[in-house]
Amino acid sequence: MKQQIVIIHGGTPFDTYEDYLSYLKNKEISLDRLRLHKDWKETLSQELGENFDILMPQMPSKTNARYKEWKIWFERIIPLFNKEVIFIGHSLGGIFLAKYLSENDLPKKIKATILVAAPFDDENEKSGKSLADFKLSSSLEGFAKKGGKIYLLQSKDDPEVPLEQLEKYKQALPDAKTMVFDDKGHFNQESFPEIIELIKKL
């Protein structure tokens, strides 16, 4: 049986609908942002090869994301997961997995959970961004028990999620393995050879 990998992409939540409308009115746009480009999530299947089955569900309302909606959709697709599934959560997808697995049981055994540039909280957030209802509960003990081998990947130059967020995850998940990079930004590059190597080692 192929090794199944489920990737939960990122998104942008807001506290209020008015905040969302303000975002739409004021977000910087450019031609480069409008051009189609692939990142490592889209190239993962090709780079890992035929022994892996990559699933990347499109979570509801990526912009103006709501945890309750993501939870409903995630639970709809849980029956499709194999035993020993590997989860990868990028950005908001990472905190979604941490929150969901902290608060809920999953009827499948998880081999590993990899959080890539995952925010931990929005305290002292200089940009004013909010995690809204994606905020974590007080403890990640449930995640630590159910998440399999947990890996935390972060870059020092991430413009979206500061390195201090990784330190908070490390305190909450002392047994997690960490990988810190100098120049990956928010991990939107087309190729990510380090995560390929990590997955193959699993």
List the one residue out of 129, 177, 123, 183 whose CA is nearest residue 153: 177
Homologous superfamily assigned to 3-201: Alpha/Beta hydrolase fold, catalytic domain (3.40.50.1820)
Are the CB atoms for 5 and 82 separated by under 8 Å? no
Rg of the chain over all Cα atoms, to the nearest angstrom: 16
Handedness of CA 174, 107, 54, 120 (dihedral sign): negative
Q: What is the pLDDT along the chain (202 residues), one digit of tens a residue?
A: 889 999 999 999 999 999 999 999 998 888 877 777 788 888 888 888 889 999 999 999 999 999 999 999 999 999 999 989 999 999 999 999 999 999 999 988 999 999 999 999 877 555 567 898 999 987 899 999 999 999 999 999 999 899 999 999 999 999 999 999 999 999 988 889 999 999 999 8
**Is residue 179 within a helix (H) or strand (E), and if so which, with residue range?**
strand 177-181
> Model pTM?
0.92
The residue ranges of every structural domain in the chain are 3-201
Furthest C-alpha separation in the chain? 48
List residues bridging with 12 in a β-sheet.
63
